[in-house]
């Protein structure tokens, strides 16, 4: 029995494409959903896929593309990017945050939003952040990904006026490993106006940025 109901009206209603959560779905379940997207000529975004799962899906959907770093699979055309410069800059505290940051970047690019990804600007070497500050200020929205204690968004929110979305990442030693420390640190930030999404939720951060840009 096929119980999947796809929200094809979400793009028209909210301006965003529905993401298909791939981690806990079987290949058969994802395939059935992707067939519906094909029939409707809609663009699909599948998140949290292993390479093995993706390779099996690509056999039946050769026009799809697997983005290995992010674990995302896309099928269909991306919206045309009309901006001449990057509207959203995505920062990572370290290279370990790259998968989550890439998920956010792909989700934004799919919606026609131009992005720039800056890697390794964490506060452990704060000079790296300060050296890029003028470049970061050119963005309309900033997504700051950080694991460990999650300090990057707080520091950044005290330096620039743009909307900043804190994206906690499940990276770090001991109690930091699941991302809860980074999440709680961002939620408890003394920097006014810092927005925070859930742990490893790159897609959610991207859609928050999209909503800000469309307001």
CA atoms within a 13 Å half-sphere pointing along the CA-CB vector of 72: 23
What per-residue confidence (pLDDT) applies to 156?
A: 96
- Return d(Cα 196, Cα 173) in angstroms, integer: 22
Counting as low any pLDDT under 70, the low residues of the chain are: 1-3
Q: Rounded to whole angstroms, how far apart are CA atoms 77 and 138?
A: 28
Question: For 24-81, how does the pLDDT look when each residue is reduced to its tens digit (9 = 90+)?
Answer: 999 999 999 999 999 988 999 999 999 999 999 999 999 999 999 999 999 998 988 8
How far apart CA 73 and CA 145 sit, in angstroms, is: 21
164 three-class SS: strand
Residue 58's nearest CA partner among 50, 66, 46 is 66
């Amino acid at each position: 029995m096929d119980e999947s109901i796809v929200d094809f009206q979400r793009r028209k209603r909210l301006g965003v494409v529905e993401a298909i959560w791939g981690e806990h779905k079987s290949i058969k379940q994802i395939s059935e959903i992707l067939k519906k997207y094909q029939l409707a000529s809609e663009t699909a975004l599948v998140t949290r896929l292993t390479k093995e799962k993706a390779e099996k899906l690509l056999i039946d959907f050769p026009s799809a593309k697997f983005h290995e770093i992010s674990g995302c699979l896309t099928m269909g055309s991306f919206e045309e990017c009309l901006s001449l410069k990057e509207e959203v800059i995505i920062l990572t505290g370290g290279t370990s945050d790259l998968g989550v940051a890439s998920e956010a970047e792909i989700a934004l690019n799919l919606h026609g939003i131009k992005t720039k990804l800056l890697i390794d600007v964490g506060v452990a070497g704060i000079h790296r952040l300060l050296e890029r500050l003028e470049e970061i200020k050119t963005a309309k929205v900033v997504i700051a990904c950080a694991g460990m204690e999650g300090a990057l968004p707080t520091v950044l929110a005290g330096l620039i006026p743009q909307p900043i979305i804190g994206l906690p990442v499940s990276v770090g030693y001991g109690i930091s490993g699941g991302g809860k420390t980074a999440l709680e640190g961002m939620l408890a930030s003394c920097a006014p106006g810092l927005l925070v999404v859930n742990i490893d939720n790159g897609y959610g951060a991207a859609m928050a940025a999209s909503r800000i840009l469309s307001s």
